[in-house]
Amino acid sequence: MIDKATAGWGMIALACLIPVILLFALGPAAVDLDRYANFTHVLGQVSGLIGMTLFSITFVLSSRIKAIEDIFGGLDKVYRVHAMTGGLALVLLLFHPLFLVMKFIPQDMKLAAIYLLPSGFWAVDMGMIALAGMILLLVLTFYSRMRYDRWKISHTFLGLVFLFAVLHVFLVRGNASRDEIFTGYYLYASFVSLIGAAGLTYTLIMKSRLVGQAMYRIKSIDRKEDGICDLIITPVYKPITFLAGQFIFLRFYNRQTGRESHPFSIASGSDSKEIRIIIKNLGDFTSNLGGLKVGDRLGVEGPYGRFNSLGKKEDQVWIAAGIGVTPFIGMAEDVHHRKTKGKVDMFYTVSDTKDLISLDFLKKVQKDTPNFTLIPWVTKEKGRLTVDAMMRQINGVLEKDFFICGPDRFKESIKEQLISKGILKKNIFSEEFSFR
């Protein structure tokens, strides 16, 4: 049986295949492909058609629609697909003009230059602007370390880039292309353009109006000396329901923080009326949270994610590093209330004892729940936490599910170690927050 994620990739592949089929079935592309000029021209058309189709799909993937999250098994995985799709679109769109230019070299260098330099052909100029803008914004996406809020603002300019790409798509059927592409080309181009425009419009304008944003206010703030801000927020309008371990996007209506939304794990038990959020000052947006005060309003979007212990194997191992303990606090609350039958071993690693968060609560869960074992791991005292060290503490690892949350390098290292010990990938669960 094909899983949902495979089916999702299949739908993307089919969307890319459709314009190629139309090109060969309804256009002159299949004629004389043995000739160099025709062959490179067709390659240019194919790369342009598929690239534009993928570019349009990226806007749908970034819309945070729940149905798409369900298909790929979590918002973090959707954003991974989004990044891969955007990167592939860029590569294909880069090859698009290069292949078209190759058919003119070396016979007609002047016409070749039209495709690579600003000229009197509006279609070509629009395409060049779109490609240059896409390169710039995607380079910022993959390689820059600008603040998240500024990066996200710059990312919205992809909508403008898409507009130039659409103008290129509709103007290209003229002197610059010198062919009819395929019968019904405008109809297909309209459909692709509308899909991308719909995804962009939904994300930027219609989402908050159609779905409606839950509104909460800050009930209490507990600021720790180590830069931890512990918030309890309570609903004002349209409270959300969630599972422990999921995450939400918060928009703080406070001048110091700005109104850009950011993802945070929920540290409350499933379907709690109030939501606990634990935030660590990491020097970016979180450094502005000192201005928050009781009574401030927050917009809440979500919940998202598939990082929860429900519906998994009864025997589980939880592995938290640093602030990555946040989702496990809510999951531990569920274990505390529901008295789970399965055995849960929780490893919680920090560099120093003072960095342990909610230690008293987790110890209480251990005291009240015989099947829950907390194993604090302070690296200054015990060294780095490894799977070998964990296996000395627990038995029957092959029959357990593993949940990991913490810094990316830590998660990847633990995953690799688990797999090397024979743990199947399907029994390892983690979630990424590096949506960029």
Q: Which H or E element spans position 334?
A: helix 326-338
User: 335: domain CATH number?
Assistant: 3.40.50.80
Separation CA 6–CA 236 (nearest Å): 40
Mean pLDDT of 242-258: 84
Q: Are residues 185 and 86 in the same domain?
A: yes
Q: Do 249 and 164 belong together in one domain?
A: no
| Contacts of 3 by beta carbon, 8 Å cutoff, 6+ apart | none
Q: What is the CATH number of the domain that holds 18?
A: 1.20.120
* Domain termination residue (choose one: 209, 238, 258): 209
Task: Compute the distance between CA of residue 102 and CA of residue 123 in angstroms, rounded to an integer.
Answer: 19
Query: DSSP character for 46?
Result: H
The pTM of the full predicted model, rounded to 2 decimals, is: 0.83
56-72 per-position pLDDT tens digit: 999 999 888 889 999 99
Counted domains in the chain: 3
Distances (CA, A) of 159 to 91, 282, 344: 19, 30, 46
Question: How would you classify residue 248: left for phi > 0, otherwise alpha for psi between -120 and 50, otherwise beta?
Answer: beta
Q: Is residue 309 part of a domain?
A: no
- The enclosing domain of 270 has a CATH number of 2.40.30.10
How confident is the model over 64-100, as pLDDT tens digits?
888 999 999 888 889 889 989 998 998 999 888 888 7
pLDDT of the residue at 262: 83
Band the pLDDT of 10: cuts 50, 70, 90: very high
Backbone φ and ψ for 147, nearest 5 degrees, come out as: -55, 145
| Cross-strand bridge partners of residue 217 | 234, 297
Residues 29 and 155 in one domain: yes
SS3 at position 310 = coil
Q: Clarify whether residues 118 and 248 are in a common domain.
A: no
Q: Taking the CA of residue 41 as centre, how many other CA atoms within 13 Å lie in the half-sphere pointing to its CB? A: 24
356 part of a folded domain: yes
- Does the bond joining 239 to the residue before it have cis omega, within 30 degrees of 0? no
CB 279 within 8 A of CB 266: no
Q: Which amino acid is at 95?
A: F
Structural domain includes residue 242: yes
Instruction: Verify that 8 and 118 share a domain, yes or no.
Output: yes
Between 36-61 and 185-201, two packed helices, what is the crossing angle to 10 degrees? Answer: 30
Q: Which string of b and e fits 25-47 if b means at least 16 CB within 10 Å?
A: eebebeeeeeeeebbbbbbbbbb
Q: Is 311 part of any domain?
A: no
Domain that holds residue 270: 214-304
- Please tell me whether residues 189 and 227 are part of one structural domain: no
**Final residue of a structural domain among 151, 183, 209:** 209
Backbone phi, psi, residue 316, to 5°: -135, 155
Share of the chain above pLDDT 90, in %: 42
Per-residue model confidence (pLDDT) at position 175: 41
Q: Of the ranges 34-38, 174-178, 384-388, which is most confident? A: 384-388
Same domain, 351 and 397: yes
In a domain, 310, yes or no: no
Q: Which of 209, 236, 256 is the last residue of a domain?
A: 209
Distance, CA of 428 to CA of 36 (rounded, Å): 50
Residues 6+ apart with CB under 8 A from 201: none
293 vs 100, more confident: 293
**Is 54 in the same domain as 85?**
yes
* In a domain? residue 178: yes
134-190, pLDDT tens digit by residue?
888 777 766 655 555 565 666 678 888 899 899 888 887 544 444 568 888 889 999
Q: Does the residue 93 lie in any domain? A: yes
How far, in Å, CA of 243 to CA of 330, rounded?
9
In this structure, the answer to whether residues 76 and 8 fall within a common structural domain is yes
Beginning with the edge strand found earlier in the chain, give each strand of the sheet holding 262-265 in spatial order.
262-265, 247-252, 297-304, 214-223, 228-237, 275-280
182 and 54 part of one domain: yes
Query: What is d(CA 264, CA 231) in angstroms, rounded to the nearest whole number?
Result: 11
Q: Are residues 52 and 118 in the same domain?
A: yes
In a domain, 250, yes or no: yes
Higher-scoring residue by pLDDT: 338, 304 = 304
* One domain, residues 270 and 380: no
d(CA 100, CA 419): 46
